[in-house]
Amino acid sequence: MTDQALHLLQKQIAVGDQRAFRQLFDFYAERLTRFAYSILKNKDAATEIVDEVFVKVWKNKETITEIEHLTTYLYTATKNASLNFLSRKANEQITDSFDFINIQLQDEECPDQQMITSEIFKSIRAAVDELPPRCKMIFKLVREDGLKYQEVADILHISVNTVDAQMVIAVKKISEKVKGHFDFLPRFVTKKS
């Protein structure tokens, strides 16, 4: 893409042209995903990072014309988001390790409870990963990024009702995936009592 064509896209995106944004996304997404994958070594995480970068670009579309070198900006944003992702994962692992040690010291039953909790979280993560892309993006924007339904609707240019419907679908699918764990818990607790 020529610099002139890129500047024209930036101007169109700045005024809310979704087709121009889609053209920008289609042009860069695969390349940026490969770039993020080279850092993360995880295809799903790389795709998620690139999606987040483009969501931020769209959310701040009014200022896109202020970016002088958009290609450099997109790659830098992808790199930074990937490194932040790795940093968060490392911190989660450290925190999980300390939490596990503290739990072990407090209660004899904690290893069983820790195992059950770990299985539930794995099931929830797997269920979220299996959501359709649009549903997954909406779920993550609402649940993980803490955005309001209206904010998600504005970012994705969809109605609040669509956000609500996608959240209902996501919660239902996740609930179905982890339902067995919660059916098991009361029997487990009863046996221990």
> How does pLDDT run across 62-105, given as a tens digit for each residue?
999 998 888 888 988 998 898 888 888 776 654 444 444 333 33
Architecture, CATH, for domain 108-193: Orthogonal Bundle (1.10)
* pLDDT of res. 192: 39
Query: What is the pLDDT at residue 1?
Result: 77
**8 Å CB contact between 57 and 14:** no
Nearby residues of 88 by Cβ (< 8 Å), 6 or more positions away: none
C-alpha–C-alpha distance, residues 177 and 179, integer Å = 6
Q: Give the Cα separation of 131 and 78 in Å (integer).
A: 23
Measured CA to CA, the distance from residue 36 to residue 44 in angstroms comes to 10
pTM for the complete prediction?
0.49
| Domain locations along the chain | 1-106, 108-193
Inform me whether the pLDDT recorded for 57 exceeds 90.
yes
Q: Which CATH architecture has domain 1-106?
A: Orthogonal Bundle (1.10)
DSSP 61: G
Structure tokens at 30: 């695969």
Tokens 């809310």 map to which residue? Answer: 16
Q: In the prediction, which pLDDT does 181 show?
A: 57
* pLDDT grade for 117, boundaries at 50, 70 and 90: low
Q: What pLDDT digit, counting tens, does each position of 24-56 carry? A: 999 999 989 988 888 888 899 999 999 999 999
Our measurement of the distance from residue 132's CA atom to the centroid of its chain's CA atoms, rounded to an integer in Å, reads 13
- Give the residue carrying structure tokens 């959310």: 59
DSSP conformational letter for 45: H
